[in-house]
Amino acid sequence: MEYVELVSKCIFFYLIIIISLRVMGKREVGELSVLDIVIYFVMSEVYALSISEPDQSIWKALIAILTLTVLQIIIAWACLKKKKWRDFFEGKPSLIIYNGMIDQREMKKQRYTIDDLMYQLRDKDVSTPEEVQFAILENSGTLTVLKKEASKLKWKDPLISDGIVQQQVLQAIGKDEAWLREQLETEGISDPADVFLCLWQKNGFFVLKKTAQNPAEMQHGRHQHTAD
């Protein structure tokens, strides 16, 4: 009878955790945030205790897992709505190389060694940092590399991200919000809040509207035009 109860618990909690992970959303293993990892560790601990302790109430463990699931959903929703929450829980990507120059201060801050950098550059078929226009250390620990000859961007950071005008970026490029609005109006966009992503490229702008819901609409949401 004891073994039957153990097997039943294993099957029950296996199904509960699978359902919980599906509800929390799809994430690749390499893209898990610190919050995701903490949630999964706590879930696994609750799962282990509920199986190893015969006197442990199955409902207590179930409530704990459901609480963690709801917590994860709420925080994920908050991260989607506010960039500050997203930066707090998931962190920000770090610019490691810009125009062939290595930012040693940022590497020390991220505890990222030169051996790590060179290994990941070689993995991208890059032999020297001088070949790199941008190298960004993502939150997942992977290195995104854009070679100089392949770079289409005039500036590395988006001018608009999720409807929010990035004022510090405009200051860095010597422009203001009035200039940005003027460029958007030439494409029939009156409000920056309607823009999901805006990048400044050498041949114009890449603009993706917030209203895009499928690949066909996303294609229509892209605009390019030249500007000084």
pTM for this structure? 0.51
- pLDDT, tens only, 43-83: 778 877 777 776 666 777 788 888 888 888 888 888 778 87
> Do residues 222 and 207 lie in contact, with contact meaning Cβ atoms separated by under 8 Å?
yes
Alpha carbon distance 40, 65 (integer Å):
10
User: pLDDT for 96-151, tens place per residue?
Assistant: 998 888 888 888 888 998 888 888 998 988 877 888 888 999 877 889 998 886 66
Across the range 174-182, mean pLDDT stands at 91
Query: Domain boundary at 102, 121, 150, which?
Result: 150
**Listed residues 44, 65, 89: the one ending a domain:** 89
Residues 194 and 142 in one domain: no
Higher pLDDT, 9 or 181: 181
- Output the DSSP codes for 35-60: HHHHHHHHHHHHHHHHHH-TTS-HHH
CA distance 21 to 37: 12
Distance CA 95, CA 137 (A): 6
Judged by DSSP in three states, 200 sits in strand
Over 50: is that where the pLDDT of 213 sits? no
Task: Tell me how far apart the alpha carbons of residues 18 and 29 are, in angstroms, rounded to a whole number.
Answer: 15
In DSSP terms, 163 is beta-bridged to: none
Residue 133's domain comprises 94-150
Residue 103 is which amino acid? Answer: D
Co-location of 164 and 145 in the same domain: no
**CATH code of residue 208:** 3.30.240.20
Kindly state the helix (H) or strand (E) to which residue 63 belongs, with its residue range.
helix 58-81
Of the listed ranges 181-190, 202-211, 213-222, the one predicted with least confidence: 213-222
- In a 13 Å sphere around the CA of 49, the CA atoms on its Cβ side amount to 15
62 plus 75 within the same structural domain = yes
What mean pLDDT is reported for the chain? 78
Q: Which two tokens stand for residue 23?
A: 């509800």
Count of domains in the chain?
3
